[in-house]
Chain A
């Protein structure tokens, strides 16, 4: 690539520049906004729009690089995984080789005191969500054109919010992740609090407090992770290498050697620190998974030995016990369960999952339309992203032990959200509760831990969950936009007072119907793919001692589709059908609105009929995670 050749001109590799640009270009534009003289609102809007469009273009550039990277690693898919690329980058840095532009990893030492790095990276999961973010940011800013109050402040906060979101998606250092995670809170608080509806102050502080409470739980886990001394992991990798050499399998030896070299490349190790502490999520995931594997091996060996004691099983058990003993101090199973719960609650508040969802209806109802779109379309996804990026990889044992419980909460969210949506008369509240229901599929699809022999079903579930996040990002943003359009004209959101809009606004009604059906999960539209994959995967979910559970979950989740259809169809009927003279004078969509609706409808259909457009590059990393995790099943 042409861009790649110029990388020698700058100190940071080109991928690092693009990723940093994605994060900081919005913030830069926020600063530029200060230069525009007071009162020139239109200029401020255009500048902000330029900022979001530039960010969108940057994300497309990153996407191209990402596809190239996939192409490059075609021969060995495992090398394209985020962990493998991060490891390779670490080894290269340790060997003083130049960082590569193709690996889409950027790591620069930042705060020596805690070994914090400016560590960014991209894989299919974050890539898909980044594209969603930058696109929705452009679209909902066009919607924001109608904001008249304190335009400069609005634009600055909007851009800062985008910086926080993109930083969270890109950060691979837990500390950095946390900073960006918190950075989102404040802009969101003010965006709801200043530009929101009647009860905006209450909704804003509720959002703030809920999320900060979740952040505190995450912070505890962050401290626990950091102060885990990873020294035993070094000897563990060394022992694995010895074992591999004894086995004589060249591929295994090479893999074990890579692990040893990678760990030796860790900064704390190179500097000969007495204790090895890190915020590096890739390394922490290795620690958590090694500990979980040791525990699983030990359980398997114990079972084999109790079932039929022989000298061989005795030896195997002793070996497993020794292995477990060696790793006893790094994230032992009980600690993993605790940290899993802390992190999971922290992220589930954002998802939001029943029973931590109560902030959502308030925030949505009070937030202005564009902010609702961002909130539903992107911010909720951060919860799911955190669960997939931190919760499961670093604390797999918690995921294994609590699989049925997490799944249960997912199912409750699905059913509860649907019932609650049905009871609403406020259009926005209905959409808000439908979000709770739809995000429940995400939780359920992730939760269904299965052993390697059934891992492909779990892979369905998890892929479906990620796809559901994308689809929900499109449809929920679309639904909030559609509600916003009608609110601008009717100045109320009472479902029972609408009716007959299809006569007055045929284009609007048609497009809105497609988006609503997409959310409902109509085959051929985007919502269907995610739901069907998660439900199919859940059917095969058989936690130990409770084999029936998956079936129950799947049936409940599938049956909820009827409820969803009920409230969506009922809404369509109440809003669009019939006739109502009062609304006959409403103008149909103007050009700006038509553009936004058109893009969202296009995506709804496209993602529905051509899922492989996304799955082709998304699936490897998600399935890779499933494979890694399910191998840890005892």
Chain B
């Protein structure tokens, strides 16, 4: 797949493989078809009375089911097959399937939530869900992009609908301001990234990731340090860091989260982060570890290649986690607080990638799954309480345990899981990442990972401060005099209850989730990481 100039031969090849490509692309096709359907339904006055969320839920459910069937081959066995599609623009492997499943699950959970909270209302529903489905298609592409061009396009495809979603509360100034900020930052980051890509393509002679990896490694073998390579990689990482909301490219995040509806915040914090983790992981590991077509990659190469990624990722991780946690403490708006919390969690996720091993990425994937439940739960509680009491200010939450005991207890479970207290699910995920940091740092002789581990551990303590602050307000502080108690819909309680149950007792499925889930997903990236011997004296 070295040639990317359109020749007669390649056109024939493309048409021949089109069937297969479309087959693996089915979930995205369903979503794309769903977008058209939603827009059409809006035209027909017969459907005016229908809240299109139900249609979107159906579309999401079908896509989820398709993703589940596509995950089956990876669930059943250790499967490191990488099937390329659309002429190598996209790749379908365990990672793609895993993230797709993750995104579809998030989509269904989100649509369900929006149906209960009533954002959007019936009139706006078509616009909202079109944007939502569009963003998910873009994120899916991020997870499967295998060509630098596709990387850029997929990021833009995911970003553009997100801008719209953020500005969706049209009447609110804050919302529009947030959307504008998001657009400006997003545009700048994308520009830097594109510039970096142009360097990388120029240096490596191709944009096809496996080819880039081959030339990258050939360059490393030939000569020493290449500043241009480093610059180009850093610039691409900046673009990815923006999607991950890593410090110092996080400024958009708190404003956007405060301005947008809590539902959108939940979506942005979880889904777009999931796609960004997959893309960053694939980009870094492909370049560092080599590709399955290139089994000659060895430890020395891994070592020298990782110099281009390791320090930058470790820096992003440490700074992001620490800053996010410190800044969260002073917040008085719950959504803003959760925004800084997602920044901090992005730092922990990057720690998993910073190990530059397949196991590290697996740990990050597990973290994503746990994060999906914990963070969705927290945002859902905020959205439901906002609907009931019309406020997102922390101060107005005092004594909430008297008004909404069930939601408060669930919130406690979500937040403490985000802290990483055992036996909640968050502890499992954090343990996986920290264990991998220690293992990689010790076995691969990379002391900076040990320091990163210590930073991560102390961040756990810092994060306790503000999560417990929320719980203190909700549980310990007294209910103001004469405060009214609003009922919470039973269905909403069930929804939150399911999320809380998974978060509280997820420890039971630790083994299958990791061994048959996250580890299977990174199987294609595995082989080199395992070949790296324990290097040198300790």
Contact = CB atoms under 8 A, between A and B. Distances in A.
Q: Which of A189, A204, A224 has the most CB atoms of chain B within a 10 A radius of its CB?
A: A189
Contact of A212 (B423, B435, B460): B460
A396 to B, nearest CB: 22
A238 B472 CA distance: 56
B423 A183 contact: yes
Interface string B421-441: 111000100000011001100
Interface string A168-196: 00000000001100110110011001100
B511 A113 contact: yes
Nearest to A216: B457
A37 B434 CA distance: 44
Interface residues of B, number: 28
A194 B457 contact: no
B363 to A, nearest CB: 11
A213 B458 CA distance: 8
A224 B438 contact: yes
Contacts of A111: 507, 510-511
A183 B435 contact: no
Contacts of A219: 434, 457
Nearest to B430: A219
B185 interface: no
A209 B329 CA distance: 14
A183 B438 contact: no
A216 B514 contact: no
Contacts of A53: none
Contacts of A216: 457-458, 460-461
Contacts of B416: 186
B312 interface: no
Contacts of B502: none
A227 interface: yes
A480 to B, nearest CB: 22
A223 interface: yes
Contacts of A200: 476
A205 B510 contact: no
Contacts of A190: 475-476
A193 B472 contact: yes
A583 interface: no
Contacts of A224: 438
A220 B435 CA distance: 9
A21 to B, nearest CB: 19
B472 A223 contact: no
A194 B399 CA distance: 11
A179 B460 CA distance: 16
A114 B457 CA distance: 20
Contacts of B439: 227
B442 A227 contact: yes
Interface in B409-456: 416, 421-423, 427, 434-435, 438-439, 442-443, 453-454
A201 interface: yes
Contacts, number: 68
A545 interface: no
Contacts of B421: 182, 185-186
A183 B422 contact: yes
B472 A205 contact: yes
A268 B225 CA distance: 42
Nearest to A152: B405
A409 interface: no
Contacts of B422: 178-179, 182-183
Interface string B459-481: 01100110010001001100000
Contacts of B121: none
A208 interface: yes
A186 B412 CA distance: 10
Contacts of A183: 422-423
B515 interface: yes
Contact of A179 (B423, B457, B461): B423
A75 to B, nearest CB: 41
A186 B439 CA distance: 30
Contacts of B454: 220
A114 B434 CA distance: 13
A209 B511 contact: no
Interface string A102-130: 00000000011110000000000000000
A158 interface: no
Interface in A201-247: 201, 204-205, 208-209, 212-213, 216, 219-220, 223-224, 226-227
B434 A208 contact: no
A282 B435 CA distance: 21
B468 A189 contact: yes
A226 B438 CA distance: 10
Contact of B464 (A113, A179, A201, A208): A208
Given A201-B476, A205-B472, 12 more contacts: A111-B507, A179-B422, A179-B427, A182-B421, A182-B422, A186-B416, A209-B464, A216-B460, A216-B461, A223-B438, A227-B435, A227-B439
29 contacts: A111-B507, A111-B510, A111-B511, A112-B515, A113-B511, A113-B515, A178-B422, A182-B422, A182-B423, A186-B416, A186-B421, A190-B475, A193-B476, A194-B476, A201-B476, A204-B476, A205-B472, A208-B468, A209-B464, A212-B460, A212-B461, A212-B464, A216-B458, A220-B453, A220-B454, A223-B434, A227-B438, A227-B439, A227-B442
Interface of B: 416, 421-423, 427, 434-435, 438-439, 442-443, 453-454, 457-458, 460-461, 464-465, 468, 472, 475-476, 507, 510-511, 514-515
